[in-house]
Amino acid sequence: MSDTEENTSLADPCVLITSSDDTFKEDDLVKQILNSNTLPEPTKTDKGVVWYPWTINNKYYTAEVSLCAVPSTFHMTFEIFQATQAFIAYFDSSDKEGLEKLKPWISVVEEIAPEVLILVCDKVCENGVTRHEAQQWCLSHSFELIELNPQDLPDEEDDFPESTGVKRIVQALNANVWSNVEMKNENGQGLGLMSSLMAVAARHNGPRSSAEPSLSNLPPADEEQLQQKESEKSAAQEGAVVDAMTDLDIQELADLTAGNADVDNFERLFTKLKEMKDKASSLPHDQRKVHAERVAKAFWMAIGGDNDEIESLSSGEES
């Protein structure tokens, strides 16, 4: 274990992929994510666990990520635990007990707390796990449900259809902020924002330093104080992450607004607006107005608006 712990900080962040369906292996989903009929050469194999390399390369950043195929919780190691930043679980929706078979993973996922949580099946099945049951499970455990071959496809007449299947999985993974992300130079403003975010994320997600005391080794009074400090520190860091993520969303909106007026641009623009609306809806009621004002102001500035025109606006003033 000590050797693994020493090498943890050097490992690429990983997407932990597992399947509770004996007829659909983790490697099958890896192929679909990579859009390849064959698997790449693994970077590592260890007791049934296989690490596959994946370079995420999009408009804003590049990141080296491992797609880590883990058959069961019995294969979990400290290394995988520390490196996991996204979790994808496949289940057999034709089996009424399909979701129950994922139960051993729940406590593991809650402990890891990855940013991306995706539940995958071929398609929901009225004779097995229904859409309602799958969605209720996802709501209870903060997952997103994605069907690889949904029966109900987006309306062809919809100008901005939602992504489905593996395309949606790849989109969700591209939207994550990986710990080793490298912003592209042409996105200068985003680079500064991402650098700040990464500094916070590194502190928030990084393994405990050997110099930090374990709670189990402290007397009760010190333990309570440390727990309080860690709670305050975590809240501050999470707030900083939310602010930085909002800044990135705003910058993307500005880029989309300033870009070419083509269908892809409009599709992404509306999708981004919906994503930001969904994020805002999860905030406490008293924070929504402040958040909306901040987004509006920052977006106005991002597209070259005059600060004087919005300087008088604040959450404490009547419009």
| pLDDT tens-digit readout, 207-224 | 433 333 333 444 454 455
According to the model, what pLDDT value does residue 190 have? 47
pLDDT at residue 169, rounded to an integer: 94
Tens digit of each residue's pLDDT (9 = 90 or more) over 88-135: 999 999 999 999 999 999 999 999 999 899 999 999 998 999 999 999
> How high does pLDDT run on average in the chain?
74
Q: Is the pLDDT of residue 279 over 60?
A: yes
Within a 13 Å sphere around the CA of 49, how many CA atoms are in the beta-carbon half?
23
Confidence of residue 59 (pLDDT cuts 50, 70, 90): confident
Residues 6+ apart with CB under 8 A from 67: 14, 15, 17, 30, 33, 34, 51, 52, 53, 54
Q: Locate 173 and state its tokens.
A: 């993974």
Which two three-digit tokens encode residue 3?
A: 């050797």
Q: How many CA atoms lie within 13 A of 303 on its CB side?
A: 15
Q: Specify the pLDDT at position 23.
A: 94
Contacts of 108 (CB under 8 A, 6+ apart): 73, 76, 81
- pLDDT of residue 77 exceeding 90, the answer is yes
Does 239 have pLDDT greater than 90? no
Instruction: Specify the 3-state DSSP secondary structure of 62.
Output: strand
Dihedral pair phi/psi, residue 13, rounded to 5°: -60, 150
